[in-house]
Chains A and B, each alone.
Chain A
Amino acid sequence: DAKTTQPNSMESNEEEPVHLPCNHSTISGTDYIHWYRQLPSQGPEYVIHGLTSNVNNRMASLAIAEDRKSSTLILHRATLRDAAVYYCILNNAGNMLTFGGGTRLMVKP
């Protein structure tokens, strides 16, 4: 399975934008990029996914590099409730998600 690399942790101030990077240099042409987040003591929650074009939804935006070897999850205005571990995962159509270490986002008031 193609791997993803994310920083272990990031910090943000409340109400400021947050850019969470993910590297996936060995991504294949059919891999979709999925993002999930996990709040403490809860199951993960779907955030967004995309293939080539940038994607927006009510939770976040996903910016995908032209060569698809990296992507960035953008939270437009971080709130305290956005503090979580964010996972960038490549989905190879089988819908079986392999989780890496993720990025722990801390939001300061």
Chain B
Amino acid sequence: GAVVSQHPSWVICKSGTSVKIECRSLDFQATTMFWYRQFPKQSLMLMATSNEGSKATYEQGVEKDKFLINHASLTLSTLTVTSAHPEDSSFYICSAPRTAAPNTEAFFGQGTRLTVV
């Protein structure tokens, strides 16, 4: 069945370095993917909408130069956290709708726990 695979599942990096997180749709194509961030004991917050072949759309308050999104193929979107700082430590989750049709169910990656030290 349709699955979204996210990699890595966890990463620890030093402050000031960059980290790339990959999100792949398996067995289906995703022209749109979504990136969320979740802090401890909070709900998911939408960061951006990743569009295949075009620029991502960022939510208010999310810095596009800090969170670089690339959606170069129909099965892969990447989120790069540039110059990471401890406050960027969070659980990052991607999702993709099963089809391009409206109101379709979404599949989520298993999440990436980022710790910046």
CB within 8 Å of B: which residues of A? 32, 34, 36, 38, 41-46, 49, 51, 87, 91, 93-102
Once bound together, how far apart are the Cα atoms of A34 and B6, in whole Å?
23
Q: Is A95 within 8 A of B102, CB to CB?
A: yes
State which residues 15-68 of B face A: CB under 8 Å.
Answer: 32, 34, 36, 43-46, 49
Contact residue among B6, B97, B108, B113 (Cβ-Cβ distance under 8 Å from A95): B97
Once bound together, how far apart are the Cα atoms of A38 and B108, in whole Å?
10
Residue of B nearest to A33 (CB): B103
Interface of A is mostly: loop
Once bound together, how far apart are the Cα atoms of A99 and B4, in whole Å?
19
Extra pairs beyond A94-B102, A96-B49 (20, CB < 8 Å) = A34-B105, A34-B106, A41-B113, A43-B6, A43-B94, A43-B95, A43-B108, A43-B109, A43-B110, A43-B111, A44-B95, A44-B106, A44-B108, A46-B106, A46-B107, A49-B103, A95-B32, A97-B95, A99-B46, A100-B43
CB within 8 Å of A: which residues of B? 4, 6, 32, 34, 36, 43-46, 49, 91, 93-95, 97, 102-111, 113
9 smallest beta-carbon distances between A and B, as pairs: A43-B108, A93-B102, A95-B97, A99-B44, A32-B103, A46-B105, A99-B43, A43-B111, A43-B93
